[in-house]
Structure 1
């Protein structure tokens, strides 16, 4: 995706974020997302994240995340958009559809909690690499 596509997708995704809930959780979810969402997409999105109250230190070593739940929600959606080659509508449809690999639960409902986020990112990674579930 180019910068303009990234900005459009992130703007739309940020508009749909649930209310903020500050937490002091680990940065592990960011490390997981790096394997699925290209670093260029994450870097391009970081300014938009800051503008939305999600504080991120350019996703570098020692990243500072002020709102892990909102970040997980956004990163999960970005990973799905990347899986569908930038097609936001297809990504949203997939996120809202119950996934057998997630116990019949829709991926979008699992993104804010760490175990659900991990399972969703793992599933996206497997699908991206052609492992069908």
Structure 2
């Protein structure tokens, strides 16, 4: 049991390191263009403390796409771009709550007045929504009235 917790912790650490790689846009862009490994989605689910099925439901990822990922071992470039962008936003939310996964999950699923009474997770299905949630997080972090 302790080994499972340690392995999950190491996986989250590795995953966050990959997201921190955003400073190297050339490498990150190449990874996205060639397709991120299918494990990226599962590691994202570990990061936020949800099962892959629950995360798929929240992000409206189709079961057929998840089956294809298992078969091919990687995401398409479009899926990679979307999930990488989503992961960056979710990492920001996790940072907003100082690593508290429960608080993060509650926040992303609770409607916000500043988002037109939509829950942040409802907006994560498009890049426009991702940008809106990123801007909202920035406002909260910097004390900007929302």
Question: 1:108: which partner in 2?
Answer: 121
C-alpha distance in 1 between matches for 2:10 and 2:94: 8
8 A Cα contact 1:97 1:106, kept in partner: yes
Structure ID, larger Rg: 2
Q: What secondary structure does 2:25 align onto?
A: coil
Q: 1:77 to 1:127 in 2, by over 3 A?
A: same
The answer to which structure has the higher helix fraction is 2
What corresponds to 2:99 in structure 1? 86
Q: 1:78 to 1:115 in 2, by over 3 A?
A: same
Aligned pairs (5 A) from 1:63-82: 63-64=28-29, 65=32, 66=77, 67-82=80-95
CA distance in structure 2 between the aligned counterparts of 1:88 and 1:98, rounded to whole angstroms: 18
Q: How many aligned residue pairs are there?
A: 90
- Structure 1 stretches (4+) deviating beyond 2 angstroms? 7-11, 41-45
TM-score normalised by structure 2 residue count: 0.52
Q: Structure 2 stretches of 5 or more lacking a match? A: 1-7, 33-76
Contact 1:72/1:112 (<8 A) preserved: no
User: Displacement, 1:45?
Assistant: 3.3
The equivalent of 1:45 in structure 2 is: 17
RMSD over aligned CA atoms reads 3.0
Displacement of 1:110? 1.2
1:43, 1:118 → 2: CA distance? 22
Q: Which has the higher contact order (CA 8 A, sep 6+)?
A: 1
Matched, 1:122 2:131: no
Q: Specify the alignment match of 1:26 in structure 2.
A: none
Aligned to 1:130, the other structure's residue is in SS state coil
